[in-house]
Amino acid sequence: MRARLLLEDGSVFSGEGFGARATAIGEVVFNTGMTGYQEILSDPSYKGQMVTMTCPHIGNTGINKEDVESYRPHVEGLIVREFCPVPSNYRSERSLEAYLSQHDIPGIHGIDTRALTRHIRDRGAMMGILSNDGTSAADMKKRLAGHPGLSGRDMVSCVTLEKSLYWNVPVQQSWYFDPIGHSRAVPFRVAAFDFGVKWNILRLLSGFGMAVTVLPASTPADKVKEMKPDGIFLSNGPGDPEAVTYAIASVQKLARHFPVFGICLGHQIIGLAFGARTFKLKFGHHGSNHPVRNETTRSIEITSQNHNYAVEPESAKKTGFDITHWNLNDGTVEGMRHRDLPVFSVQYHPEASPGPHDSLYLFNQFLKMME
């Protein structure tokens, strides 16, 4: 079946369709990861976005239950150069085609993804509409023009839990070279706000010796205080951080009473809660090969990233934070720590999945902060 991708600037990319027969609208971004498309598809931070994979061949490893990062894929559409319909991998349990079809997610392949990626880099991430179900070009253009976009919208409410749950599934040691574990007889109790959390974050929190209660994003601060946790964790998630006003308000009330660790959107919400500013990046950071410099050790970490917003550095410094990590590609803030309070955060994903394990020490840092 023929498929078409129309961008808001009028650019058109034509190819072949796969996945669900459908029409979808989302912000078109690109991911530079060479592996891990299953984890990328199921990352809730991609809610509202369509992902272009720069790796040219996608689908050959299929889909398995072990590697998903949430209960379903969250991307609006998938854009690839070459699609493999029949997987060949000993861990595969089903095809990518079947996975996308089950969840009504359309895909397009056979287009020049290098040209599309360069276009986004030059002009910035933009809204697009992908159709492989025969929708006319005129109707696609009309539907795209009527879409409100993502800026200023609360996307967290689309992916967060409806009610709290207790997470007790630790990470599998076989996934890691370095040992993951702890020596505490009684684990620290952590209240984890679910803004769109990846499951491997929860696995690692549990593996490092924490008893994790996962909370809906809108959980009031007073209710969290009643739980008397040893620490607060703020997860990754999709969309514009300034739109998640209820989470910002909760963090303002909690950060002066508990140790706090934030990742990705959680990092941005910490910044906003203390009065710093955030801004939207031109085309975001999406991939598993981003170099970050740790200012304490002066070492370079290769990191996994997925975000479209960043914390403005000078505003963070003025509100009590030291910048602990910098992105070596574009000089944006990748980590910060409060000067007086036990509060720290990183913009990237130390849990990876997919990606390198250079930054696992941050989970142990959270543990030691609670100690």
> What tokens does 189 get?
């109790």
Instruction: Classify residue 277 by burial, with Cβ atoms within 10 Å: 0-12, 13-18, 19+.
Output: middle
Residue type, 70: S
Q: Is 349 a catalytic residue?
A: yes
Phi, psi (5° rounding) for residue 223?
A: -70, -40
* Of 286, 325, 349, 357, catalytic: 349
- Four-CA torsion 187, 191, 195, 199, nearest 10 degrees: 20
Cα separation, 341 vs 274, in Å, equals 11
Distances (CA, A) of 233 to 192, 205, 256: 4, 9, 14
Q: 3-state DSSP: the chain helix, strand, coil percent, rounded to 5? A: 25, 30, 40
**CA neighbor of 52 nearest in space, from 25, 72, 24, 80:** 80
Q: Is 351 a catalytic residue?
A: yes
Tallying the residues shown for the chain, one arrives at 371
**CA neighbor of 44 nearest in space, from 273, 221, 183, 201:** 201
Q: Which helix (H) or strand (E) is 285 found in, with range?
A: strand 278-294
* Of 8, 74, 84, 264, catalytic: 264
Q: Which helix (H) or strand (E) is 217 found in, with range?
A: none
Cα separation, 203 vs 42, in Å, equals 16
Q: Is 147 a catalytic residue?
A: no
- Tell me the pairing of strands 188-194 and 321-327: unpaired
Q: Give Cα 88 distance to the centre of its chain.
A: 28
Cα separation, 63 vs 19, in Å, equals 13
Are residues 160 and 151 in contact, defined by beta-carbon separation less than 8 angstroms? no
Q: Which helix (H) or strand (E) is 344 found in, with range?
A: strand 343-346
**Catalytic amino acids?**
264, 349, 351
